[in-house]
Chain A
Amino acid sequence: MAQERFADVVERFANGYADLAAASPEILKKWQDELERGFKRMTNLAQMVQSPVEPRTGQTPREEIYRKGKARLYRYASKRTHRTPVLFVPNLGISRPYIFDLLPGGSFIEHMTKEGFDFYLLDWGVFGPEDNDLSFEDCVVKILPRVTRKVLESSGAPSLSVLGYCMGAPLSSSFVASHPEVPVKNYINMAGPIDFSKVGIFGLWLDRRFFDVDRFIDTMGYLPADMVKAGFKLLRPTMDLSTNLNLWWNLWNDKYVEGFNALNKWANEYVAFPGEFFRQWVRDFYQGNKLYRGELVFGGRPVKLEAIDCPLFVVGAKEDYIAPPACVRALMSAVRSRDKEYIELPGGHISLIAGRGASVHCWPRVSSWLASRS
C-alpha cells in the first residue's frame, strides 16, 4: 500500500514537472541552458580524467639571487617604482610557495610587482632526511640574516620591508625582534600566529598533555608530508566533499576549472618538516608560547617582540582555523610600533593569499598600506 502511494506521488510530481515546463518558455530556456551546462560538465570531466592539463603556475618572471641549503631567494621582475624592496617570508614546510604566484590574473606576486614593488620571495624548499638537523633557530640566525643582506645588496636600498605569511610571520618576527641592526622599514603579518594560547584546534591537538613531540621526532626523525596532509585534512574533514561538490557545480566554467586545477595541485602537494624544526616549532611555540611571552633566545640574542618599532600592518581572516584572528592580532599589542594597523577580512587562511576574494579585499589593502611607506 505504502509503495503504491509512493509511486503515485512520484508520478504526479513528474507529470507536474512536464506540464509546467511545457507551459513556460522562460523555464524551457532555463532547462536548455542547464542541459548545455550539463554537456559542458561532462566534456570537462572527461578531459580532466583522460588528458589532465598540468597547470602553469608561477609565471611571473624571476631570477634566483641566493641559495642556502634548500632555501632559494628569488627576485621578481617589476618596474620598481617604490624604493624599498619587499622580502616575502612564507611558511616553511607544509606546502609549496607557488600559491603566491598561482596563475596570471590570480597571483599575489603579480599584483605586488604590477604595483611597482621590488619583490623578493624566500622559498624554504623541499626537505629531505639530510635537513633533519635544521631548526627554527637556524632559520632565524643563519638563513634570514643572509637573505635580508642579499636583498639589500641586490636592490641597493638602505632598508627593506618584511612580509610574513602564516608560519613565515613567527619566523620573520623572531628575526626582526632579535636583529635590531637590520634596517627593517615596515613589517607586515598576514595570518601569522603570534599568541599560541589562542591558536585553536592545532593548539589543542599539539598540547603537551596529548602529544609528545620528542617521542615523535625521536622515532620518525621528521614529520613526513603524508602526516602533514593528514593533519590538515583532519582540520576540515568535509573540505574535500565541498571542494568536489563545488567543482561539479562549476565544471561547465573553463575559467573555474583552470583555477581549480592549479589550486588543487597545490592543495595536494605537501612538504615535510625537518625533525628539529618541528620539535622546536611545537615545543617552543604551540606548547610553550615562548614568542609571545618573550622567552626565546636565538643565537644568544633575546627575542622580544617589543623590540619591533617599525610601522606594522596585521591582517587576520575571520574564518581562519589555522591561525585564528585573535592569535594573529596579538602582535598589535606586543610591539612598540606607533604606526600600526589591523584589519580582519572575510574568509579563511588561504583566502587572504589566493582566489578572487583575496585580489579584491586583501592584496590592494596590503599594497596601498605599503606603497605609502615605501
Chain B
Amino acid sequence: MTDVSAASQQLFDMWKKQMDEGAQAWTRLLGQNPTPTPDPLSFWKPAMEHGLQTWARIFATTPVSPDLMAQWKQFLDQTIEAWSKALGQVMTTDAYARAMGKSLEQWLASYAPVKKQAEQSIDAALQALNLPSRAQVTSLAKQLVDLEERLDRFEDGIAAVLRRLEGGKAG
C-alpha cells in the first residue's frame, strides 16, 4: 500500500515536472520573438496546478480501487469548471465584447455584398425557369398573414357585438 502510494506520488511528481519544464521551454521559445508575448503560464498554470495537485493527492491517499474512476471524473469536472471560470472571466470583459462585435462587423461587411450577389443570381435563374423567387413566395406568405389578421379583427368585432347584445338582453 505504501509502495503504491509512494510510486503514484513519484509518478505525478515527474509528470508535473515534465509539464513545468515543457511550459518553460515554450515560454523561452515564444520569448525569442522580437515582440513581447503574453505569458501563457499566467493563464493556464493556476488551473493546471490545481488539477495536478488534486490528482497527485488522490493517487497518494486513495486505496487502488475503481473508486479512482470516480475521483478521476471529479478531477475532470473540477478542471472543466476551472477552465469555464477562466474563460468566463475573459468573456465578461469589454475587450472581448469589443473584439466579438468587431469580428461580427467585418463578417457582415463581407457577407452583405456576397448575399446580394447570390440573391440576384438565384432570382435571375428562377425567373429564367419561370419559377417564383424566394421574395415572391415570402410576399405571398405575408399576404396570408395579413389576411389572417384581418379575419381575426372581424372575429373580434363580431365577438364584441355579441357580447354587447348579450349584455343588452341581460340588462
Instruction: Tell me the A residues contacting B by CB distance below 8 Å.
Output: 2, 5-6, 9-10, 12-13, 16-17, 20-21, 24, 27, 30-31, 33-34, 68-69, 128-131, 133, 142, 146, 149, 200-201, 204-205, 207, 209-212, 215-216, 219-220, 234, 236-238, 241-242, 245, 249
Contact = CB atoms under 8 A, between A and B. Distances in A.
Contacts of B67: 30
B45 interface: no
B91 interface: yes
B76 A245 contact: yes
B105 interface: yes
B142 A238 contact: no
Contacts of A212: 101, 105
Contacts of B83: 238
Contacts of B142: 130, 133
A149 B155 CA distance: 12
B124 interface: no
Contact of B141 (A130, A146, A237): A130
A131 B138 CA distance: 9
A206 to B, nearest CB: 9
A273 to B, nearest CB: 15
A238 B87 contact: yes
Contact of A219 (B80, B92, B111, B149): B111
Given A20-B4, A34-B66, 8 more contacts: A20-B63, A21-B64, A27-B65, A210-B97, A237-B84, A237-B91, A245-B73, A245-B80
Contacts of A20: 1, 4, 63-65
Nearest to A231: B100
Interface residues of B, number: 47
11 contacts: A16-B7, A17-B64, A128-B138, A201-B91, A204-B94, A205-B100, A209-B94, A211-B101, A219-B111, A237-B87, A242-B77
B10 A9 contact: yes
Interface of chain A: mostly helix, strand, loop or mixed: helix
Given A13-B8, A219-B108, A131 B92 contact: no
Contacts of A215: 105, 108
B49 interface: no
Interface string B112-136: 1001000000000000000000100
From A13, A20, A142, name the one whose CB has the most chain B CB atoms within 10 angstroms: A13
Nearest to A34: B66
A13 B4 contact: yes
A12 B3 contact: yes
A342 B80 CA distance: 32
A207 B98 CA distance: 10
B112 A219 contact: yes
Contacts of A133: 142
B4 A31 contact: no
Contacts of B64: 16-17, 20-21, 27
B67 to A, nearest CB: 7
B145 interface: yes
Nearest to B135: A129
Contact of A129 (B1, B14, B134): B134
Contacts of B101: 205, 209-212
Nearest to A241: B80
Contact of B156 (A146, A200, A201, A237): A146
A129 B148 contact: no
Contact of B73 (A9, A68, A128, A249): A249
A9 B14 contact: yes
B152 interface: yes
Contact of A210 (B100, B138, B148, B159): B100
